[in-house]
Chains A and B, each alone.
Chain A
Amino acid sequence: MDPWYITIGKAMLLCTVLLGAFAYMTVIERKLLARMQHRFGPNRVGPFGLLQPIADAIKSIFKEDITVSAADKFVYFLAPFISIMFALSAFGAIPAGPPGSFFGMNPWIMDLDIGILFVFAATSIGVYGIFLGGWASNSKYSLLGSLRSSAQMISYELGLGLSALTIIIIAGSLNFREIVDFGVWTLHPLLWIPLIISFVTFVISQIAEVNRTPFDLPEAEQEIVAGYLTEYSSIKWALFQMAEYVNMMTAAAVISTLFLGGWRGPGFLDALIPGMSEWPFIWLISKMAIWMFLFIWLRATLPRFRYDQLMRFGWIYLFEIALGSAILAGAIIAFIV
């Protein structure tokens, strides 16, 4: 257990890194999308457009911050901060390496025995940011947008939790570190069936949970009214965007940690350089990068769900399949293994 000042220092470092990663994710996303559409993407600011996030930041800070006169001022102000705060704090529970590997410190901020629950709880509180933002704007568009977004996120949280339940049953722990250390190759082969099913449902519901295409109804950018963000401008709008991208990164990290061995690299690389698979950060970051690329790739490819399709898919297919895989995993553990 680290002393409190190291924990605080690490937390601040993590926030900085996450926000920096957010800034560059926007550029990477825009460039990748552009290249998939035969365009160049941002290339005006700095070499290859690499200073674009700085220009964006300056722009969004100096834009006029419009507050709706009929808005509930306090809640209107609070909502983006709720979003970004819980988006950032959710990441703290994810381990990025073996104990003591970060200059003698532990490469995580909170080593919680209920790590998964904490991440789910924190990302769920993010829904409050959306809902309060939409409600406090005192605008029909915002309210309807936020109702839809909250409904979507709550619906898909069921699929998310039940998919995670499978791996919790199999690994027998809610602690991220124990799940990473859990020897998946020693498993009974039958258990691979619920694992793979829940992997697929988990990824789908994570995409829905972070409001990415094809589930990006909360802020359907091609449809002029921007959902719960309609009445937000300037830095408050940017905070919501930040929260969205940080949630994306958390989702990528959670998928990697729960299903792909988290901070551990592929073991066969140890034959090349001994201890390579134990290097901190690099494996988690590269796994996250793959998932982030997938999110962007999906955005470039898929059309958006209609709202009723979204709800039907969430409640009729995803929920049942995730529940089934959890029951299956439990049954296999109870009766076969």
Chain B
Amino acid sequence: MSVLDIAKGMGVTLSHLFKKPVTVRYPETPADVKPRFRGRHHLLRHPDTGLEKCIGCSLCAAACPAYAIYVEAAENEPDDPTSAGERYASIYEINMLRCIFCGFCEEACPTGAIVLGHEFELADYKYQDFVYGKNDMMVGIKGSKWQRREAKQEQKEVRIGLQSGPRPELEGVEY
């Protein structure tokens, strides 16, 4: 190690002193999430008719390696259909503690009804609060169960700590 090398190294560290830190100040500023990030699931609707895309076929539950999905199907009312197909999911639950966020459900879905979104702040206190039902995942619902509960208590908007680029599969989902 010669003196020149030391001087060179000192120059490197000095130049880095004036660079912008790469630290993500996550709770204060939103975390930057990539478009294909796999977070909490969303159940989507057809944007034009407003009907649910899910037809209750349980293919997602079959594809799920962690057995995290439970689907119960029911026949559509012909006059007032819930989904675009013959049947719809009357119960659709995902256990977020079992889920490994692999995205197989999304790949298995024939109608593109279930898509993994970008939300990742899912921490909660009770086991039962990790079972997300239809009314927790339907498009238009923002935030995890805990975030919505807290927002309700404080009478505030749900604030989720992320920003991300658009992803075409997530139509109708807003962050």
Known contacts A36-B13, A37-B16, A38-B16; decide if A302 and B22 are in contact (CB<8 Å): no
**Beta-carbon contact of B12 and A301 below 8 Å:** yes
Q: Which of B9, B14, B20, B23 contacts A302 (CB 8 A)?
A: B9
A39 — which chain B residues lie within 8 A by C-beta? 21-23
B17 — which chain A residues lie within 8 A by C-beta? 32, 35-36
Q: Is A102 an interface residue (CB 8 A)?
A: no
Q: Which of B9, B16, B19, B21 contacts A40 (CB 8 A)?
A: B21
**Beta-carbon contact of B6 and A38 below 8 Å:** no
Q: Point out which of A32, A297, A301 has the most chain B C-beta atoms below 10 A from its C-beta.
A: A301
Q: Is B151 an interface residue (CB 8 A)?
A: no
B25 and chain A: residue at smallest CB distance: A40
Q: Is A289 an interface residue (CB 8 A)?
A: no
Cα distance, A194 to B13, chains bound together (Å): 31
**Beta-carbon contact of A38 and B19 below 8 Å:** yes
**Beta-carbon contact of A297 and B14 below 8 Å:** yes
Determine the interface band of chain A, counting residues with CB < 8 A from chain B: 10 to 19
**Beta-carbon contact of A38 and B22 below 8 Å:** yes
A297 — which chain B residues lie within 8 A by C-beta? 10, 13-14
Cα distance, A300 to B12, chains bound together (Å): 10
Q: Which of B13, B19, B23 contacts A301 (CB 8 A)?
A: B13
Cα distance, A36 to B21, chains bound together (Å): 9
**Beta-carbon contact of A40 and B23 below 8 Å:** yes
B14 — which chain A residues lie within 8 A by C-beta? 36, 297
B21 — which chain A residues lie within 8 A by C-beta? 34-35, 38-40
B 1-38 contacts with A by CB, 8 A = 6, 9-10, 12-14, 16-17, 19-23, 25
CB distance from B114 to the nearest CB of A (A): 39
Proximity string of chain A (285-308) to chain B, C-beta cutoff 8 Å, 1 when within and 0 when not: 000000000000110111000000
B6 — which chain A residues lie within 8 A by C-beta? 301-302
Cα distance, A40 to B25, chains bound together (Å): 9
CB distance from A109 to the nearest CB of B (A): 35
**Beta-carbon contact of B10 and A298 below 8 Å:** yes
B20 and chain A: residue at smallest CB distance: A38
B22 and chain A: residue at smallest CB distance: A38
**Beta-carbon contact of B13 and A38 below 8 Å:** no
Q: Which of B13, B22, B23, B25 contacts A300 (CB 8 A)?
A: B13
B22 — which chain A residues lie within 8 A by C-beta? 38-39
A36 — which chain B residues lie within 8 A by C-beta? 13-14, 16-17
A 286-334 contacts with B by CB, 8 A = 297-298, 300-302
Q: Which of B9, B10, B23, B25 contacts A38 (CB 8 A)?
A: B23
CB distance from A166 to the nearest CB of B (A): 20
CB distance from A257 to the nearest CB of B (A): 24
A35 — which chain B residues lie within 8 A by C-beta? 16-17, 21
Q: Point out which of B6, B9, B21, B22 has the most chain A C-beta atoms below 10 A from its C-beta.
A: B21
Cα distance, A178 to B44, chains bound together (Å): 84
Cα distance, A300 to B10, chains bound together (Å): 8
CB distance from A118 to the nearest CB of B (A): 32
Cα distance, A38 to B13, chains bound together (Å): 10
Cα distance, A40 to B13, chains bound together (Å): 15
A38 — which chain B residues lie within 8 A by C-beta? 16, 19-23
A298 — which chain B residues lie within 8 A by C-beta? 10
Cα distance, A38 to B25, chains bound together (Å): 13
Q: Point out which of B12, B17, B19 has the most chain A C-beta atoms below 10 A from its C-beta.
A: B17
Cα distance, A204 to B133, chains bound together (Å): 68
CB distance from A321 to the nearest CB of B (A): 13
Cα distance, A34 to B16, chains bound together (Å): 10
Proximity string of chain B (24-60) to chain A, C-beta cutoff 8 Å, 1 when within and 0 when not: 0100000000000000000000000000000000000
Cα distance, A302 to B13, chains bound together (Å): 10
CB distance from B43 to the nearest CB of A (A): 39
CB distance from B44 to the nearest CB of A (A): 39
A37 — which chain B residues lie within 8 A by C-beta? 16
Proximity string of chain B (85-109) to chain A, C-beta cutoff 8 Å, 1 when within and 0 when not: 0000000000000000000000000
A299 and chain B: residue at smallest CB distance: B13
**Beta-carbon contact of B16 and A301 below 8 Å:** no
* B binding-site residues for A, Cβ under 8 Å: 6, 9-10, 12-14, 16-17, 19-23, 25
* A binding-site residues for B, Cβ under 8 Å: 32, 34-40, 297-298, 300-302
Since A40-B25, A300-B13 are in contact, a sample of 6 more A-B pairs with Cβ atoms closer than 8 Å, ordered by chain A residue number, is: A38-B19, A38-B23, A40-B21, A297-B14, A298-B10, A302-B9
The 6 closest A-B pairs by CB, nearest first: A301-B13, A38-B22, A300-B13, A301-B9, A36-B13, A38-B21
Q: List 12 A-B contacts (CB under 8 A).
A: A32-B17, A34-B21, A35-B21, A36-B13, A38-B16, A38-B19, A38-B22, A40-B23, A297-B13, A297-B14, A301-B6, A302-B9
